[in-house]
């Protein structure tokens, strides 16, 4: 670990105080260098690494956290982490088994941002399960940042992705049931297991983020939500922090929500307060918020996190220094 990373990762307090040692062995070693020998570390305000994700996505978030613990980069950890959920047929809003559009096509959206501010996204992709990894390929292997639909799918095959049927017998059955009424009313907190947005900070203090989804169930053919759109569904600025959204994408898009959260943090707000303010920007537009859910999660460079939703029921998974918890998010609509 170089000196810059060491300083980034460590809150040094109590210069000259003789007691207290770092809980982190590699940092203990560094505290013995000539530059720092008069300084004893008495508190560490920042976790070694941290992964947070939307909803009750424990296996995915733990997978990411465990990779971070092994020293993997934030970018590697989140892509492999969300892949767990993309492959989970039980999750009806991500990857295989996801709810189709109203014509029965499962179309997926995803995007990723790296610590150096790079971005890649895929929109309305069919037949590919791991669209977060595909978004990373767009970011790293093409001169573009967004690829959509058939072009994105063909690019996926050129990169070795497999063609897979995303509509499962269960999601097909549910769609046929829906066709009986064709009532498009995205439900609030459908099953507390939804679009997955994940943010991670690795052991070198770098932050990356990802979002992957099938969008809103029974959407119109061709509809794209906030999740793959930079600044709306996801934003990462490694100097400041990161935010990711879930819920009614149209509302997140109209307020450029994740960018807003990061900019509010840049101006000094905590992740928690920044998420609250971004939700307030939506609800102050009128009473329509009563019928839809939006939630944000965020983290800053100190490893502090926050989450806030319009309605009760949203949870954030957090894996930090070996411990996983599912945190009930605070929310706006307490009426
Ligand atoms: C969208 N924001 O497509 C996504 C859907 C979502 O929880 O997050 N659902 O609008």
- Judge whether 195 counts as a catalytic residue: yes
How many structural domains is the chain composed of?
1
Mutate to test the pocket of ligand 1, among 219, 233, 234 (most ligand atoms within 8 A of CB): 233
Q: Is 30 among the domain residues?
A: no
Helices (H), 159-235: 169-179
Q: Is 5 among the domain residues?
A: no
Residue 246 Cβ < 6 Å to ligand 1: yes
Q: Is 218 among the domain residues?
A: yes
Report the chain's mean pLDDT, rounded to a whole number.
88
Q: Is 80 among the domain residues?
A: yes
53 — pLDDT class (breaks 50, 70, 90):
very high
Q: Is 226 among the domain residues?
A: yes
Q: Is the pLDDT of residue 291 over 50?
A: yes
Model confidence over 156-178: pLDDT tens digits?
A: 999 999 999 999 999 999 999 99
Distance CA 317, CA 55 (A): 7
Distance CA 221, CA 128 (A): 17
115 — pLDDT class (breaks 50, 70, 90):
very high
Mutate to test the pocket of ligand 1, among 95, 248, 257, 293 (most ligand atoms within 8 A of CB): 248
Residue 257 Cβ < 6 Å to ligand 1: no
pLDDT value, residue 193 = 60
Q: Is the pLDDT of residue 331 over 60?
A: yes
Q: Hey, whose CA ends up nearest to atom 3 of ligand 1?
A: 215
Q: Is 7 among the domain residues?
A: no
Q: Is 296 among the domain residues?
A: yes
Residue 251 Cβ < 6 Å to ligand 1: no
CATH code for the domain in which residue 44 is found = 3.60.20.30
Domain extent for 149? 17-25+36-331
Residue 195 Cβ < 6 Å to ligand 1: yes
36 — pLDDT class (breaks 50, 70, 90):
very low
**230 and 237 Cβ atoms separated by less than 8 Å:** no
Nearest-10 crossing angle of helices 58-69, 74-86:
150
Structure tokens at 234: 């996801």
The pTM of this model reads 0.87
Q: Is 326 among the domain residues?
A: yes
245 C-alpha vs ligand 1 centroid, how far in Å?
A: 8
265 C-alpha vs ligand 1 centroid, how far in Å?
A: 23
Distance CA 13, CA 302 (A): 15
DSSP state of 39: B
Mutate to test the pocket of ligand 1, among 53, 57, 93, 188 (most ligand atoms within 8 A of CB): 93
Of the candidates 1, 238, 196, the one whose C-alpha atom is nearest the C-alpha of residue 109 is 196
């Amino acid at each position: 670990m170089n000196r810059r990373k060491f300083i980034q990762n460590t809150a040094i307090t109590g210069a000259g105080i003789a007691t207290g040692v770092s809980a982190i062995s590699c940092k203990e070693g560094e505290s013995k260098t000539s530059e720092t020998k008069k300084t004893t570390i008495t508190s560490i305000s920042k976790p070694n690494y941290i992964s947070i994700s939307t909803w009750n996505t424990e296996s995915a978030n733990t997978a990411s956290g465990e990779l971070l613990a092994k020293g993997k980069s934030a970018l590697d950890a989140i892509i492999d982490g969300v892949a767990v959920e993309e492959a989970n047929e039980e999750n009806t809003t991500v990857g295989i088994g996801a709810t189709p559009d109203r014509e029965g096509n499962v179309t997926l959206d995803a995007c990723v941002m790296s610590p150096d501010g790079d971005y890649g996204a895929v929109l309305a992709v069919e037949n590919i399960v791991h669209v977060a990894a595909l978004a990373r390929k767009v970011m790293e292997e093409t001169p573009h940042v967004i690829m959509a639909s058939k072009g994105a799918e063909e690019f996926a095959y050129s990169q070795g992705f497999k063609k897979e049927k995303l509509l499962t017998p269960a999601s097909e059955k549910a769609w046929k049931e829906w066709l009986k009424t064709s009532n498009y009313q995205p439900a609030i907190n459908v099953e507390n297991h939804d679009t997955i947005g994940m943010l991670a900070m690795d052991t070198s203090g770098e932050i990356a983020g990802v979002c992957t989804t099938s969008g809103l169930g029974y959407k119109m053919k061709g509809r794209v939500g906030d999740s793959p759109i930079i600044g709306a569904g996801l934003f990462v600025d490694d100097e400041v922090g990161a935010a990711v959204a879930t819920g009614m994408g149209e509302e997140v898009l109209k307020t450029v929500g994740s960018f807003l959260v990061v900019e509010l943090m840049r101006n000094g707000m905590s992740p928690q307060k920044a998420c609250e303010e971004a939700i307030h920007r939506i609800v102050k537009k009128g009473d329509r918020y009563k019928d839809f859910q939006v939630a944000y999660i965020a983290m800053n460079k100190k490893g502090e996190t926050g989450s806030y939703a319009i309605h009760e029921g949203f949870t954030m998974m957090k894996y930090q220094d070996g411990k996983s918890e599912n945190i009930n998010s605070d929310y706006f609509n307490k009426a």
